[in-house]
Amino acid sequence: MASERIIIGIGDDTAAWRGSELVQLATIDSLIEDVHFRFSWCSWEDLGHKSLAVNLSDIAAMGGHALYALVALSCPSTVDSDDVVSYYRGMTQLALEHDVVIVGGNLTTSPMVTSTVAIVGEIRPDRLMTRSSAQPGDVIAVTGVLGGAAAALALLESDGGSPLKVPDHLLDSLVRPHVRLHESQVMAGLGVRCAIDISDGLLGDLEHICARSSVSATIYSAQVPHVVDDEIPADQQTMLALTGGENYELLFVCAPSLLEPVAAALNCPVTIIGEIGACSDSPAIVVRDARGMPVKIDRPGWRHFAP
């Protein structure tokens, strides 16, 4: 239990806990009002949940166990203290689910809300999953169903930001993403050595794997598990699944023989969507449709400073 190792929690200059000789993992991520979320469709409780979730998802991408979180919240001085309480409630509920302890916080004024969380986790050295371990001949697979968050965002932004017409299951995947921490620990334990969480979009994140592993990849678009909803035109569902960000499902790469035991051990959909090839000149990734024809992709995923 992470809590049993704590020596000093919130209330001193730093938190303090008993260390271990396992590999230590750490990451940081910010969510910014009107850049990453709007309060018209994301409640304070959602924001607390999501701020922790996006960091937990990074720990999941390594196969690790999340332990301790530090939270820096900045918001206008006019914000109601109940809203700050709601934020911490959303975060604490998710933290409890995953045995994560919030050990430090920083609260400051700011013209608009910025929520930054850093998290420390750990993992056995032989379990580490990295972006650099893909090999030609490996299969590419994903957990869950892709495109829900992007579909919700598309509906919200086309509808002036009102969440009323967005189906709950889509909105939930945007503001309350499920984190595949347990699933990643299982796959890491079974021998998977290459994974990434889908935060930038499937193709964007696969690009990271190709670059760090010096490999190429082929994706079969018809196999990509996409969200199905009457609100989303059929032809857009696959494209949202290929390029939509903030998904937080796991994209992983492993030897074909590993796929069956992994799929059998996980309590979520696991789908093969492509395969890794040798290093190639650009493009590193080719997407093929059901007839084997190359699919043209406009914009692979989330980019900082996008126009």
Binding footprint of a copy of itself on the chain (CB under 8 A)? 7-8, 11-30, 32, 34-36, 58-59, 61-62, 64, 68, 70-72, 74, 77, 103-112, 114, 116, 118, 120-123, 125, 128, 130-132, 196-197, 212, 304-305
Which CB atom, from 106 or from 162, has the smaller least distance to a copy of itself? 106
Which CB atom, from 92 or from 130, has the smaller least distance to a copy of itself? 130
Minimum distance between the CB of residue 294 and a copy of itself, rounded to whole angstroms? 29
Minimum distance between the CB of residue 180 and a copy of itself, rounded to whole angstroms? 12
Residue type, 257: S
Which CB atom, from 46 or from 197, has the smaller least distance to a copy of itself? 197
Which CB atom, from 169 or from 303, has the smaller least distance to a copy of itself? 303
| Six-digit token string for 107 | 């609260």
Is the four-CA dihedral 57, 59, 63, 66 of positive or negative sign?
negative
Which CB atom, from 167 or from 189, has the smaller least distance to a copy of itself? 189
Q: How far apart are the first and last CA of the chain?
A: 45
Residues 6+ apart with CB under 8 A from 262: 141, 186, 187, 190, 192, 252, 254, 270
Minimum distance between the CB of residue 295 and a copy of itself, rounded to whole angstroms? 27
Minimum distance between the CB of residue 109 and a copy of itself, rounded to whole angstroms? 5
In sequence order, what DSSP letters do the residues of 95-132 get, joined into one string? HHHTT-EEEEEEEEE-SS-EEEEEEEEEE-GGG--BTT
Residues 6+ apart with CB under 8 A from 160: none
Minimum distance between the CB of residue 34 and a copy of itself, rounded to whole angstroms? 8
| Six-digit token string for 259 | 């796929």
Helices 44-62 + 81-97 axis angle, to 10: 30
Which CB atom, from 32 or from 286, has the smaller least distance to a copy of itself? 32
Minimum distance between the CB of residue 291 and a copy of itself, rounded to whole angstroms? 35
Which CB atom, from 87 or from 220, has the smaller least distance to a copy of itself? 87
Question: Which residue from 35, 274, 12 is spatially nearest to 146, judged by alpha carbons?
Answer: 274
User: From residue 122, how far is each of 27, 56, 191, 203 by CA, in Å?
Assistant: 12, 12, 17, 28
Minimum distance between the CB of residue 266 and a copy of itself, rounded to whole angstroms? 19
